[in-house]
Amino acid sequence: MDRTIIVEAEEEVACPKCGHQFPLSEGISRHAIERHAEEFDRTLAERRKALEAQAAAAAKAQFDTQRKALNETLSAKDNELAKFRNEELALRRQLRETEEAKKNQDVEYQRKLDAERKKIEEQARSAAGEELGRRETQWRTQLESARREAADLKRKLEQGSQQLQGEAFELSLEALLKAAFPLDEILPVPKGVNGADLVQRVRSPAGAVCGTILWEAKQTKAWQPAWLRKLKDEQQAIGAELAVIVTATMPKDSREPFIRESDVWVTRFDAARPVAEVLRSMLVETWKQRQANLGRSEKVELLYTYLCSPQFTQRMKFVVDTFLVMRSDLEAEKVATLKVWKKREAQLARVQESFIGVVGDLQGIGQEALPQLDSIAVLPVAEEIEL
């Protein structure tokens, strides 16, 4: 195989015949040198290309190795990312299914049942029937239990809400009666005892018991006629002279603020106080007549007849209506009077301010010559009037 040897031009060589040494450049003609120089350049270029090809091949191999490693890393990352995405999708799907299950348990139950049925059919048709039956029974049991619990909770909430509203209504009525009649004895019926809500023992100014009024508060959306019979039984049991139902809903076809049905007075809350005042006055007067006419039972019978008569109902209605009208007129007069007083007060303030300004101008002109204006400048300030 041919081999190329590179020798410098200054290198000394020896003549093979005489042994004389001389520089190589002296023994080679210029043409040979140029020819060898061209051959050297060509050889050098070829070596350079070979080295570059070898370096490129090595770089390519290293690049391929690195690219393969990067591809493997990216593949692993993609697998992990795909796994995370699948897990995220599974979690999101589970969250969405949970939210939908809260909104509609029946629909979610059917979806799960269908999905599980398909999965069981694909995996093992032979075991699908038994597994599906077991899970279906379990889900139906859980669903039925959840429905019962929801119904029980709804019923308890409604009962609790109605009970709280009723207690608040009863407390308002108790506070109203105690504030209006401080001499009377207002006793709430203990919780858990069937019957009315309040017992009012009417007392005279001297402290004598004149009679008893039985009160029952009803904060409901519908009127029930059975309340009348129940309250009358309680009235007879405790020996009360009168019985009153204060209700948020009056009997059907009733447009009046209060009525009398089956010897029981039925009234709205806003008319409870005037009704109580009339009934209380009646009991006090009856007690006075009874004390003054002991032994005259016929008058008591006449009084009872009068109390049950339409004339007494009309008179009582007139008293209550008049009371309500007077209260409304009084509020209107109060507002109008306040407006007039405020207007007059503002006018007086402006007059006083102007007058003080005039006095100040005069004193500025006369300086110490008008000291008597000091007492004139001090005007009385209008006092605020409260109703």
Q: How many CA atoms lie within 13 A of 302 on its CB side?
A: 6
Predicted confidence at residue 373, as pLDDT, reads 52
Residue (of 247, 314, 320, 310) closest to 281 by Cα position: 320
In tens, the pLDDT along 187-222 reads 887 664 556 788 999 998 888 899 999 998 888 888
Q: Output the pLDDT for position 65.
A: 84
Residue-wise pLDDT for 86-121, tens only, equals 887 888 888 777 777 676 676 676 777 777 777 777
Read off the pLDDT of each residue in 306-330 and give the average, rounded to a whole number: 81
Cα dist. 3→6, 43, 54 in Å?
Answer: 10, 11, 20
Q: Which two tokens stand for residue 264?
A: 């029981």
Q: Which residues lie closer than 8 Å to 243 by C-beta, 6 or more apart?
A: 196, 213, 214, 216, 231, 232, 234, 235, 263, 264, 265
pLDDT at 182 over 80: yes
Specify the pLDDT at position 142.
72
Percentage of the chain surpassing pLDDT 70?
A: 71
- Name the pLDDT band for 305 (thresholds 50, 70, 90): confident
The beta-carbon contacts of 11-20 under 8 Å, at least 24 apart in sequence, are none
Q: Which CATH class is domain 183-308?
A: alpha beta
Spell out where the chain has E strands. 12-14, 21-23, 185-188, 198-203, 209-218, 242-247, 258-261, 264-267
Q: Give per-residue pLDDT as tens, 44-92.
A: 788 888 888 888 888 788 877 888 887 888 788 778 878 877 887 888 8
User: Between the CA of residue 326 and those of 281, 318, 319, 331, 332, what are the distances in Å?
Assistant: 19, 12, 10, 9, 10
Looking at residue 187, its pLDDT comes to 87
pLDDT of residue 303: 75
Residue 134: exposure state from Cβ atoms within 10 A (0-12, 13-18, ≥19): exposed
pLDDT score of 386: 43
Euclidean distance between CA atoms 252 and 265, whole angstroms: 15
**Cα distance between residue 216 and residue 270, in whole Å:** 15
The pLDDT assigned to 164 comes to 55
Q: How far apart are CA 259 and CA 265, in angstroms?
A: 6
247-264 average pLDDT score: 85
| Residue whose tokens read 């503002």 | 346
How is residue 241 written in tokens?
């002279």
Write out the H or E segment, with its range, that includes residue 339: helix 310-366
pLDDT digits (tens, 9 = 90+) for 128-176: 667 667 777 776 777 777 677 766 665 655 554 455 555 777 888 889 8
Kindly tell me if the per-residue pLDDT of 257 is higher than 80: yes
What's 244's DSSP letter?
Answer: E
